[in-house]
C-alpha cells in the first residue's frame, strides 16, 4: 500500500465507490460514480459535500500572534473582527506567493490559518522560520479536525436543519460561527471554493466527521470529488496554487498582483509595518494601478495577469496550451477544460434554470497586462489555432441563492417595436392605462408609497411648478430671506407657512423644506455635520465623519444612511480596519427586527460614535431613542442623534414616536410614505438659537441651498403645504387607524396560516408595516404572482438573507389603503385573498378588483362643500 495520508472520511469515499488519487500527499476522491459533470451540476443546483480535511490547518496563538501574522501574511489582520475570515497570501520577499491562505478568527485569542494541502510542509517550514522572532506559537492541527465543505443553493437549508433553526452564520460571506449541530460542536465559516453564494466550510472533531457527512447526505447533499472542485473553482475564476499562483509554464514565478483576488488579499495599511514582500508588492500594486488606467508604460513588476478566457471555436482548452495575440505567442492557459452549465430561459427575475445541461470550454490564462476585456486571442489546441476571448467573468454570484454562469455573447432581448401610433400618443395611452390600473384596480401595499389627495395633486401641478425661487438668509437684513427672482411673493409665503406647519407637526424649532427627497435630506445633513466638524480650520482637507452608528442594510437599514448611499462622501475610513468607520446597531437574538439596547450601549461605549442614526426601511418597532439619549447623556459621550423617519414620518405622535421629546436632535424623512405629501424630503431640528449646535442647523440650511438644490421644485412644495394642513388636521385618527389596521392585517394573515414576522405579543407591529416570511428565495416570485392579481407588495430580504434575489419576505404597509378607507374588515378580506394566492397559487384578481372598487375615495383630507367647490373651480380654470 502507498504511504499516502488518509482523511477521517477515507472509508466513506471508498464505500461510495469514489475513484481515489494522490493529491498533495493525500489519498483523495477525484470523483464518485456519478462523475465530475454531474457533481458540478449538482453543486450549482442543489448541494455538494467536499472532503477538505486534507487542507493544512495551523493554529496561531500567543501574545504576539497579531504582529507575527501582520508580518508573514499580506492581509491586514487587525481588520479581522471576531467571527470573520479573510483571504490572504503568504508572500516571499519578492512578492511571489509561497501559498494562498484563509485566515479565520473563531476565537478572541487564536487564529486559524488554512493552507493548501500540497504546500503545508513548505508553508510550515517558512512560518516556523519567521515565528522564531515572535512570542507566538504555531500548532499544526490538520489531523485533529475534519473539514467538510457544504456548497450549493440548498446548503443553507440543510445546515439550518442541523442547527435546529438557529442562524448558521450571519448571511454575509466570510462570516463565522461556533455552534452545535445536533449535539456535535462545529465551527462554521460562510466560505468556499466553488463560487456558490451559499456555502459553508464546517470544521468538526475527527470522530464527528462521518456523522456529519452521512447526515448531510440524508438531507439530500451528494459527495463531490477534487475533479468537480476544480471545475467549480475554474468557472468561479478562483486561483489554484500551481496554476494561477506559483510558477508559470515557463518556470517563472507569478507576481501576486497578477491574480485578480490579490487586491483583497494585500493591504498596505501603515499598521502592517514592514511585512514580508511589502516593497515588491507595492511595485506590483503601482503597476496594477497603471494597468487599470490603461497606462502600459512600465509593467516590469506585472508583465502578465491572470484572466478568464472563453474558447469561441469547438475544442477544449487545457493548462499549458500557448496563447497567441495578434499572431505572437504571448502567454498560456493556466487552467481550462469543458465545464457544464444549465441552460436558462427568460430574463431578469423571471429567469428559469432548466435541467438541460450544456457545456462550454472556459478557463483562465496568463497573458500580457495590456490585453483588455473582449480582446480576441488564439489558443494552440493540440496543433490547431482556435479563437478565444477574454470575458469579464464566467460566473456571477450576486443573485443568490444561485451562482449564475455568464455565457459569453448572451444579449438581452430588445423591447418590441411600438405599433404604427406615434410614440407620443402611445405614451399617453400607456400612462392612462397605468394610472387607472394603480389608482382603481390595484390594492397598493407598498409601505413607502401613498396617493396624495386631489388637492395636493392639483397644487403640485399648478404654476409654481415651473418657477424658480432661490433664497438665502442675509445677516445684513437680520436673517430676512432674500429672493433672487421676481414674481415669488406667493412662493415665499407658502414656504414660510409650510415651515410653520411642520414645526407644529414635529414639535421642534426649525425645519428645512427645500430638499426634494429623503436621500437628499440625509446628504445635506451628513455634509453639514462634516462641515461643522471642520469649521474651525477650513484651510486643510476636511476630516470625514467617524465613527457613525446606523442600522445595517441587511438588518433593514436605510440605503440612504449607508456608506454606499448618502454617507458615501462623508464617512471616514478607519485606518486600522481599512473599512468605513461604521458601527451597526446590534439586534436582539430572538427578534432580529429590534435593536438590542444593552448591546448597543456597550458598542457606543467602545466606539464613542460621533453620530448616531436611528431609523430603517424594515421598521416594525419603535427605535430606542429615549434609552440611547439617556445613556449618552449619562456617560457624557459627545454625539449627535438623528432619526431618519423616512417610513414613519407620518406617524410622528402619541401612537408611535415623538422623536424630539425622546431626545433626537435631527429628524429627516421623505414626505410621501406615511406622510400625505408629494415626493419630497424634509429636515427638522430642535436646536434653539442659544444652543452651540444652532450653528449646525445654519450649516444644514446652507447645505440644502446652495449645497443640494438650486431649484427646489416649487410645485410639490406647495402640494406639501396642503399635505401638512391635512396631516395636522387628521393625524390623530389617521395614525391610529394605520397602526390598528396593520395589527389587524398581521393577525389576519397569521390566522390564514402565513408566517408573519415579529412579536405576536404586540400584534407583530408598532408601525404601518407588516412583514411576512414566504420561504427563502421565494419573495420575488410570490410578489410577482401577487402583482398579476393586482396586489402590489414589496419583496425584501430579511436580516438573515443574503440579498434581494434571496428574499424570503414580503413587506407590506397599510398606509395607502387606510387612506382609501380600508378598515379591519377589509384588511381581513385582503389577508384571505393574499393567503389563497400565496399558499394555493389561486387566481384572486376578480375578488381583488371588487374589493378595491368600493374604496376609491380619499379619506383624511378636506372635503367640506366649500372646499370642494373651490377645488373644482380651480381645477376647471386649470383646465384639468
Residue 30 vs 508, nearer CB to another protein: 30
Q: What contacts 691, CB < 8 A, 6 or more positions away? A: none
Residue 27 vs 235, nearer CB to another protein: 235
CB of 309 to another protein, least distance (A): 16
The C-alpha cell 404601518 sits at: 768
Q: How many CB atoms lie within 10 A of CB 874?
A: 14
CB of 336 to another protein, least distance (A): 11
Residue 19 vs 465, nearer CB to another protein: 19
Q: How many CB atoms lie within 10 A of CB 221?
A: 24
Alpha helices in 774-844 (DSSP H): 779-788, 815-819, 824-840
- Classify residue 314 as exposed, middle or buried by CB count within 10 Å of its CB (0-12, 13-18, 19+): exposed
Q: Evaluate whether 765 touches 748 at the Cβ level (below 8 Å).
A: no
Residue 40 vs 105, nearer CB to another protein: 40
Query: For residue 877, what is its C-alpha cell?
Result: 380654470
Per-residue HEC secondary structure of 431-446 comes to: HHHHHHHHHHHCEECC
CB of 357 to another protein, least distance (A): 9
**Alpha-carbon gap, residue 648 to 622, rounded angstroms:** 10
Q: Evaluate whether 97 touches 107 at the Cβ level (below 8 Å).
A: no
Whether the link from the prior residue into 493 is cis, omega within 30° of 0, is no
Residue 342 vs 730, nearer CB to another protein: 342
The C-alpha cell 392579481 sits at: 789
Residue 151 vs 361, nearer CB to another protein: 361
CB of 327 to another protein, least distance (A): 24
Whether the link from the prior residue into 517 is cis, omega within 30° of 0, is no
CB of 391 to another protein, least distance (A): 20
Residue 254 vs 319, nearer CB to another protein: 319
Phi/psi class of residue 409: alpha, beta or left (left: φ > 0; alpha: ψ in -120 to 50)?
left
Residue 311 vs 774, nearer CB to another protein: 311
CB of 19 to another protein, least distance (A): 8
Tell me whether strands 84-91 and 97-107 are parallel, antiparallel or unpaired: antiparallel
Residue 20 vs 198, nearer CB to another protein: 20
Query: For residue 135, what is its C-alpha cell?
Result: 512570542
The C-alpha cell 440625509 sits at: 522
Residue 318 vs 385, nearer CB to another protein: 318
CB of 242 to another protein, least distance (A): 15
Q: What contacts 169, CB < 8 A, 6 or more positions away? A: 83, 175, 176, 177, 188, 189, 190, 200
Residue 16 vs 446, nearer CB to another protein: 16
Residue 114 vs 339, nearer CB to another protein: 339
Residue 37 vs 46, nearer CB to another protein: 37
**Alpha-carbon gap, residue 765 to 811, rounded angstroms:** 12
Residue 382 vs 636, nearer CB to another protein: 382
CB of 41 to another protein, least distance (A): 11
Reference 45, options 228, 258, 282; nearest CA is 228
**Alpha-carbon gap, residue 745 to 216, rounded angstroms:** 39
Q: How many CB atoms lie within 10 A of CB 516?
A: 22
Residue 280 vs 386, nearer CB to another protein: 386
Residue 22 vs 500, nearer CB to another protein: 22
**Alpha-carbon gap, residue 226 to 246, rounded angstroms:** 20
Note the residues at the interface with another protein (CB under 8 A): 19, 30-31, 35-38, 227, 231, 314-316, 318, 337-340, 359, 361, 382
CB of 329 to another protein, least distance (A): 21
Q: Evaluate whether 226 touches 29 at the Cβ level (below 8 Å).
A: yes
**Alpha-carbon gap, residue 129 to 429, rounded angstroms:** 77
Tell me whether strands 791-792 and 443-444 are parallel, antiparallel or unpaired: parallel
CB of 240 to another protein, least distance (A): 14
> What values do phi and psi take at 866, rounded to 5?
-60, -40
Reference 195, options 133, 157, 240; nearest CA is 240
CB of 360 to another protein, least distance (A): 10
Exposure class string for 543-563: b at 16+ Cβ within 10 A, else e: ebbbbbbbbbbbbbbbebbbb
CB of 381 to another protein, least distance (A): 9
- Classify residue 502 as exposed, middle or buried by CB count within 10 Å of its CB (0-12, 13-18, 19+): buried
Residue 318 vs 785, nearer CB to another protein: 318
CB of 191 to another protein, least distance (A): 24
CB of 227 to another protein, least distance (A): 6
CB of 35 to another protein, least distance (A): 4
CB of 234 to another protein, least distance (A): 10
Q: What contacts 314, CB < 8 A, 6 or more positions away? A: 386
The C-alpha cell 396586489 sits at: 791
**What DSSP letter does each residue of 4-55 carry, written as one string?**
-B--TTHHHHHHTTPEEEEETTEEEEEE-TT-HHHHHHHHHHS-EEEE-TTS
Name the 3-class secondary structure at 510: strand
Reference 367, options 377, 353, 380; nearest CA is 377
Beta-bridge partners for 282: none
CB of 313 to another protein, least distance (A): 12
CB of 9 to another protein, least distance (A): 21
Residue 235 vs 662, nearer CB to another protein: 235
Tell me whether strands 681-685 and 184-189 are parallel, antiparallel or unpaired: unpaired
**Alpha-carbon gap, residue 34 to 52, rounded angstroms:** 20
Query: Of how many residues is the chain composed?
Result: 880
Amino acid at each position: 500500500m502507498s504511504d499516502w495520508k488518509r482523511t477521517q472520511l477515507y472509508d466513506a469515499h471508498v464505500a461510495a465507490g469514489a475513484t481515489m488519487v494522490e493529491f498533495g500527499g493525500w489519498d483523495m476522491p477525484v470523483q464518485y460514480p456519478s462523475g465530475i459533470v454531474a457533481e458540478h451540476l449538482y453543486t450549482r443546483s442543489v448541494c455538494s459535500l467536499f472532503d477538505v480535511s486534507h487542507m493544512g490547518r495551523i493554529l496561531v496563538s500567543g501574545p504576539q500572534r497579531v504582529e507575527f501574522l501582520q508580518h508573514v501574511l499580506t492581509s491586514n489582520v487587525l481588520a479581522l473582527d471576531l467571527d470573520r475570515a479573510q483571504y490572504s497570501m503568504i508572500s516571499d520577499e519578492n512578492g511571489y506567493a509561497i501559498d494562498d491562505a484563509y485566515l479565520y478568527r473563531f476565537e478572541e485569542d487564536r487564529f486559524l490559518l488554512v493552507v493548501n494541502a500540497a504546500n503545508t510542509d513548505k508553508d510550515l517550514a517558512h512560518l516556523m522560520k519567521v515565528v522564531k522572532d515572535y512570542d507566538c506559537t504555531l500548532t499544526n492541527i490538520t489531523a485533529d479536525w475534519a473539514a467538510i465543505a457544504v456548497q450549493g443553493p440548498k446548503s443553507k437549508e440543510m445546515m439550518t436543519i442541523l442547527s435546529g433553526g438557529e442562524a448558521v452564520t450571519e448571511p454575509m460571506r466570510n462570516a463565522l460561527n461556533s455552534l452545535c449541530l445536533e449535539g456535535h460542536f462545529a465551527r462554521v465559516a460562510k466560505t468556499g471554493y466553488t463560487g456558490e453564494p451559499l456555502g459553508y466550510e464546517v470544521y468538526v472533531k475527527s470522530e464527528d466527521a462521518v456523522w456529519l457527512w452521512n447526515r448531510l447526505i440524508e438531507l439530500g447533499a451528494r459527495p463531490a470529488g477534487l475533479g468537480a472542485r476544480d471545475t467549480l473553482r475554474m468557472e468561479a475564476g478562483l486561483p489554484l496554487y500551481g496554476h494561477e499562483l506559483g510558477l508559470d509554464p515557463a518556470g517563472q514565478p507569478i507576481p501576486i498582483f497578477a491574480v485578480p483576488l490579490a487586491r483583497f488579499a494585500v493591504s498596505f495599511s501603515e499598521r502592517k509595518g514592514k511585512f514580508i514582500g511589502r516593497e515588491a508588492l507595492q511595485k506590483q500594486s503601482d503597476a496594477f494601478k497603471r494597468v487599470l488606467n490603461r497606462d502600459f508604460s512600465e509593467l516590469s513588476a506585472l508583465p502578465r495577469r491572470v484572466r478568464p478566457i472563453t474558447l469561441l471555436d469547438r475544442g477544449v482548452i487545457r493548462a499549458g496550451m500557448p496563447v497567441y495575440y495578434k499572431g505572437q505567442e504571448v502567454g498560456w492557459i493556466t487552467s481550462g477544460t469543458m465545464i457544464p452549465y444549465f441552460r436558462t430561459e427568460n430574463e431578469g427575475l423571471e429567469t428559469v434554470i432548466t435541467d438541460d445541461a450544456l457545456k462550454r470550454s472556459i478557463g483562465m490564462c496568463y497573458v500580457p497586462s495590456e490585453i483588455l476585456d473582449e480582446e480576441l486571442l488564439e489558443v494552440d489546441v493540440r496543433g490547431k489555432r482556435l479563437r478565444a476571448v477574454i470575458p469579464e467573468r464566467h460566473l456571477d454570484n450576486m443573485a443568490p441563492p444561485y451562482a449564475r454562469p455568464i455565457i459569453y455573447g448572451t444579449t438581452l432581448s430588445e423591447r418590441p417595436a411600438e405599433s404604427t401610433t406615434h410614440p407620443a400618443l402611445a405614451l399617453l395611452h400607456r400612462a392612462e392605462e397605468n394610472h387607472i390600473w394603480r389608482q382603481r384596480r390595484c390594492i397598493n401595499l407598498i409601505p413607502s408609497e401613498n396617493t396624495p389627495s386631489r388637492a395636493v395633486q392639483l397644487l403640485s401641478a399648478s404654476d409654481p411648478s415651473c418657477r424658480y425661487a432661490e433664497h438665502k438668509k442675509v445677516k445684513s437684513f437680520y436673517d430676512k430671506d432674500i429672493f433672487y427672482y421676481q414674481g415669488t411673493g406667493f412662493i415665499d409665503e407658502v414656504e414660510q407657512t409650510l415651515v410653520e406647519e411642520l414645526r407644529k407637526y414635529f414639535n421642534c424649532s426649525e425645519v428645512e423644506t427645500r430638499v426634494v427627497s429623503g436621500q437628499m435630506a440625509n446628504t445635506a445633513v451628513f455634509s453639514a455635520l462634516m462641515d461643522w466638524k471642520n469649521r474651525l480650520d477650513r484651510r486643510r482637507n476636511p476630516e470625514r465623519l467617524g465613527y457613525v452608528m446606523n442600522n445595517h442594510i441587511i438588518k433593514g437599514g436605510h440605503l440612504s444612511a449607508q456608506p454606499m448611499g448618502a454617507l458615501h462622501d462623508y464617512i471616514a475610513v478607519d485606518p486600522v480596519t481599512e473599512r468605513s468607520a461604521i458601527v451597526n446597531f446590534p439586534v436582539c437574538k430572538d427578534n432580529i427586527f429590534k435593536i438590542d439596547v444593552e448591546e448597543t450601549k456597550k458598542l457606543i461605549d467602545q466606539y464613542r460614535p460621533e453620530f448616531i442614526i436611528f431609523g430603517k426601511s424594515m421598521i416594525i418597532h419603535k427605535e430606542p431613542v429615549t434609552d440611547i439619549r439617556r445613556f449618552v447623556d449619562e456617560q457624557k459621550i459627545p454625539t449627535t442623534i438623528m432619526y431618519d423617519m423616512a417610513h414613519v414620518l407620518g406617524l410622528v405622535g402619541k401612537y408611535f414616536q415623538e422623536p424630539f421629546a425622546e431626545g433626537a436632535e435631527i429628524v429627516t424623512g421623505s414626505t410621501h410614505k406615511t406622510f400625505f405629501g408629494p415626493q419630497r424630503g424634509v429636515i427638522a431640528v430642535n436646536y434653539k438659537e442659544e444652543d452651540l449646535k444652532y450653528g449646525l442647523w445654519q450649516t444644514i440650511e446652507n447645505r440644502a441651498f446652495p449645497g443640494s438644490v438650486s431649484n427646489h421644485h416649487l410645485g410639490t412644495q406647495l402640494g406639501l403645504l396642503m399635505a401638512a394642513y391635512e396631516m395636522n388636521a387628521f393625524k390623530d385618527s389617521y395614525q391610529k387607524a394605520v397602526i390598528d389596521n396593520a395589527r389587524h392585517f398581521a393577525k389576519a394573515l397569521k390566522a390564514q396560516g402565513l408566517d408573519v414576522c415579529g412579536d405576536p405579543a404586540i400584534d407583530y407591529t408598532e408601525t404601518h408595516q407588516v412583514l411576512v416570511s414566504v420561504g427563502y428565495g421565494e419573495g420575488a416570485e410570490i410578489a410577482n404572482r401577487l402583482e398579476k392579481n393586482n396586489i402590489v407588495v414589496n419583496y425584501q430580504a430579511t436580516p438573515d438573507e443574503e440579498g434581494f434575489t434571496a428574499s424570503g419576505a414580503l413587506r407590506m404597509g397599510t398606509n395607502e389603503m387606510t387612506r382609501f378607507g380600508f378598515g379591519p374588515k377589509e384588511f381581513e378580506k385582503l389577508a384571505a385573498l393574499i393567503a389563497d394566492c400565496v399558499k394555493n397559487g389561486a387566481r384572486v384578481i376578480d375578488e381583488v378588483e371588487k374589493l378595491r372598487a368600493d374604496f376609491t375615495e380619499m379619506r383624511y383630507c378636506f372635503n367640506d362643500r366649500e372646499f370642494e367647490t373651490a377645488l373644482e373651480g380651480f381645477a376647471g380654470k386649470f383646465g384639468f
